[in-house]
Structures are given as structure tokens and as C-alpha cells.
């Protein structure tokens, strides 16, 4: 492999040809010795946002940030997050955020049976998927109406509680974060002194219901879904 790369570089010098940016990266970051190419380095391809191996989930954002989950649920806390960058046709780097210095993780870009594959050390190969796997949390996002007011659950795991009216009974308007744990919806207000509010997910006559001692909340399908 080293001989082939040297010969290629020497040939470029003799012919006076300039390398394209892709060829320069491929020359600077070649595959490890003994690793055979599994896809054409001149073939253009894009790195998808979502990847999985059936156990873990990887999200590569357009702003060069990444999140690695140890499950298929993107609403869970990431096992690792940081920045990613494509170095060449065969190499991508993950740079985890940490208070302690960490080495960048080298990820191989290959093909398996024609499909683009990411080879992350200590993990099974990951394949691209069109979107994140569907989970229960997806069905909770939106507006919920109950006897004491309304709860809006956003996809970024933030919520807003509003009273039904300015004079109506119920808690004052508050915000915070929400999570689903063991079939129980938990609301954690930004004001810690308020404590945590819990709602059990149960199946009602028209679908899921958020049940609590203060009353049940039903999903409002007519409300505009905010993201």
C-alpha cells in the first residue's frame, strides 16, 4: 500500500497534475497497512445523519456535532457526544467532549455488500438509516389537556405547563424538562423547589392518557404541533 501511494504521488509530480482536495485527503489519511479498499475513492458520497448497528445509535449533525447512544432511543442521555469530521474517503474522526484530554477516535468508512459502513472501535459496524427508530416518546410530543390546564411536551425534552385560565384553579405557569421512565412521565420544573410531577401512561378510550391524582390529561390532536 505504501509503495502504491508513493508511486501515485511520484506519477503526479512527473505529469505536473495537481491533486484534487479529495485526492489530497486520501493521500494524507490512507487506510491502515494491510487494509484493502472496499469502495472507490473517487466516488462521491454523503455521510447520513443517523446510523445504527441494532444496539447503538449514532447521530451526526450538520453543525459537526455528534451524539452516540447506547440504545436505539434518541431521547435518552447520550453515552458520548462531541464533534465529528470527515478526513478522507476512508476515515472519519470523532472528538468526544470531556474535561480530560482524550484521543480522537478514528472511524473507518467502508462498504459491506455495497452499503456504506462506519467502523467504530469496540462497536459492531454501523449502517445508515433514514431516520431515528420510532419510540414511545415520539407519540407524547404535543399538547395535552387536563382539568388543571395544559401541558406542552416539546421534542427537545422541554415542557411548558399553562393554567386553563388566569383565574382557574391549578399551579402557576412553569417550564422544565420531561422524561419517560418505566411508563411514567416525569416533569422536572426549572424551579427545583416545586418538586417533580409524575403521570402514569395508561390506555384510555381514545388513546393514551396521562393519569395523575390531580386529574387525567388527554392528547389534543387538533393543537398545532410545535417542534
pTM of the model: 0.73
- Among 166, 191, 163, 162, CA closest to 177: 191
Each residue's pLDDT, cut to its tens digit, for the chain (227 residues) gives 444 444 444 444 444 555 555 445 454 545 554 444 556 666 667 899 999 999 999 999 999 999 999 999 999 999 999 999 998 888 999 999 986 777 889 999 998 888 999 999 999 999 999 999 999 999 999 999 998 899 999 999 999 999 865 445 556 789 999 999 999 999 999 998 899 999 999 987 778 999 998 889 999 988 755 54
Q: Check if the beta carbon of residue 225 is closer than 8 Å to that of residue 142.
A: yes
- Burial of 83 per CB tally in 10 Å (0-12, 13-18, 19+): middle
C-alpha dihedral sign at 17, 19, 20, 22:
positive
- Among 66, 74, 52, 57, CA closest to 156: 74
- Burial of 161 per CB tally in 10 Å (0-12, 13-18, 19+): buried
Amino acid at each position: 500500500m505504501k509503495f502504491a501511494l508513493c508511486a501515485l504521488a511520484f506519477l503526479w509530480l512527473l505529469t505536473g497534475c495537481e491533486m484534487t482536495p479529495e485526492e489530497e485527503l486520501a493521500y494524507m489519511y490512507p487506510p491502515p497497512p494491510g487494509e484493502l479498499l472496499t469502495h472507490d475513492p473517487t466516488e462521491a458520497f454523503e455521510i447520513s445523519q443517523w446510523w445504527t448497528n441494532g444496539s447503538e445509535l449514532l447521530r451526526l449533525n450538520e453543525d459537526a456535532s455528534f451524539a452516540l447512544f447506547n440504545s436505539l432511543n434518541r431521547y435518552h442521555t447520550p453515552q458520548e457526544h462531541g464533534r465529528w469530521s470527515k478526513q478522507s474517503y476512508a476515515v472519519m474522526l470523532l472528538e468526544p467532549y470531556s474535561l480530560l484530554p482524550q484521543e480522537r477516535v478514528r472511524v473507518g468508512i467502508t462498504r459491506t455488500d455495497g452499503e456504506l459502513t462506519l467502523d467504530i472501535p469496540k462497536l459492531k459496524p454501523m449502517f445508515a438509516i433514514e431516520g431515528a427508530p420510532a419510540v414511545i416518546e415520539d407519540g407524547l410530543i404535543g399538547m395535552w389537556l387536563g382539568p388543571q390546564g395544559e401541558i406542552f411536551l416539546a421534542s427537545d425534552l422541554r415542557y411548558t405547563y399553562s393554567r386553563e385560565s388566569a383565574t382557574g384553579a391549578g399551579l402557576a405557569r412553569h417550564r422544565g424538562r420531561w422524561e419517560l421512565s418505566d411508563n411514567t412521565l416525569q416533569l422536572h420544573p426549572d424551579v427545583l423547589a416545586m418538586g417533580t410531577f409524575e403521570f402514569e401512561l395508561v390506555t384510555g378510550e381514545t388513546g393514551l392518557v396521562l393519569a395523575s391524582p390531580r386529574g387525567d390529561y388527554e392528547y389534543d390532536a387538533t393543537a398545532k404541533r410545535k417542534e
